[in-house]
Structure 1
Amino acid sequence: MSRKQLYVVTCGDDKLIKVWDMHGQKIYSFEGHEAPVYSICPHHIDKVNFIFSISLDGKMKTWLYEYLGTKLDFDVPGKWCGAILNSADGTRLFSCGTSKEGDTHLVEWNQIEVSVERSYSGFRKKPSGVAQGVVQFDTARNHILAAGEDNQIMFWDVDNTNMLTCIEAGGGLPSFPRLRFNKEGNLLAVNTVDSGFKILANTDGLRSLPAFGNVPSEVFRSPYEASEMKVSTYFSAFYCQDRLRV
């Protein structure tokens, strides 16, 4: 599969993973999951292209384009539905999910051995038997990992399993916030319960925000200070809030 071509990869309730070209033509279809597929992540190691996927029953699979079938099949931690994504530079793989017992597992995978490389701490256990949402998370190229749970945003350095800090960003966040870093990794967009969004910024991000025009701002400093880290390496400020427009 050529890396110079653009493709769209989809998944869903039909338990299939499909690859489409930019003209809407289906060129690959992978079958093998026994439950709806919740999350997919295209990936490559050297010149080998493949797809990781996680279904609602906690099964994680890898799919090779040339093989047209599943190559590896195993359980994610907690054996429950989760989200999966690459690091910002595409070299590392992470997943996050909450088990029926209420334990949330945010982990980095060893892609060669397909085993858990490290597991990040800081999540509170939820009451067992209560329906849980899927924790949404993202990584930035400055090696910061962010996840949304319990109406707050939590941050880690990807090489340290201990949580750096957690913030409520001034309040108004849903139980499981959705979030996304910008390309530079210095701004983080987070949705709010009133169908709006907030922008969190580190020091570098604050410098870039005036380019978006005159918006109200208010700074909320993080209670965490790490002597070995510059403040610009993690998000310590909430900058602006607005309504989502569709």
Structure 2
Amino acid sequence: MSAALVVENLGVRYGGVTALRDVSLSVDEGQILTVLGANGAGKTSMLRGISGLVSSTGTVTHHGRTLGRLDAAARARAGLGHVLEGRHVFPDLTVRENLHLGSLLSPKPAEGVERALALLPELEEMAGRKAGRLSGGQQQMLAIARAISGSPSVLLLDEPTNGLAPMLVQRTIDVIGAIQELGVAVLLVEQRVEVAQALGSEVLVLQRGEVVGTAHGTDDDLEDRIHTAYLA
């Protein structure tokens, strides 16, 4: 495997407030890296800095290409998919129209939509329904499918299980595992320790904008270490 995404010394500031400081990480093709941390740890700022949604310092490299000053749209076209926290589907468009818009980032849009529906076949039966009429869990599945329809090589996921019922949490975990099997590099931000455990992923622990530890989802003491970081 080779590194699909390399981040070096990433920093994000909002005015005089430092949200992220010197964060470095690497995600290989077909690998899942889970970043765990409490609210306010800087997880969302990290993803937004990588995808170009906010200004940042440091270096982001995608398959050996330094993205430099590329804006968010250019980074998406380069193969960085980003599923924002809170779904952000187009509510007045149908499920299929949402997928079609996402697929415009793919070299072969029709194949992108097919790939997304193969990953989440439950969306097929609601393809003609407006996204705003879906449940919260269905909208989360659509947001992931829309990103996949663009054929990204790297997928950034911002707390995809937040607010979901246990059954949908498990479904989301299964979908992320299936995305990994497609060879996509997944950078997953979560608060739920059990998600990293279920995926057996590599783990970074983020606290107050800095990486304070590394672990693996199968480590016996992972929950204790994460809870300690949350309470610090």
Q: Same fold (TM over 0.5)?
A: no
TM-score (norm 2): 0.30
As a proportion of its length, which structure holds more helix?
2
TM-score (norm 1): 0.29
Question: Does 1 or 2 have the higher relative contact order (CA < 8 Å, sep 6+)?
Answer: 2
As a proportion of its length, which structure holds more strand?
1
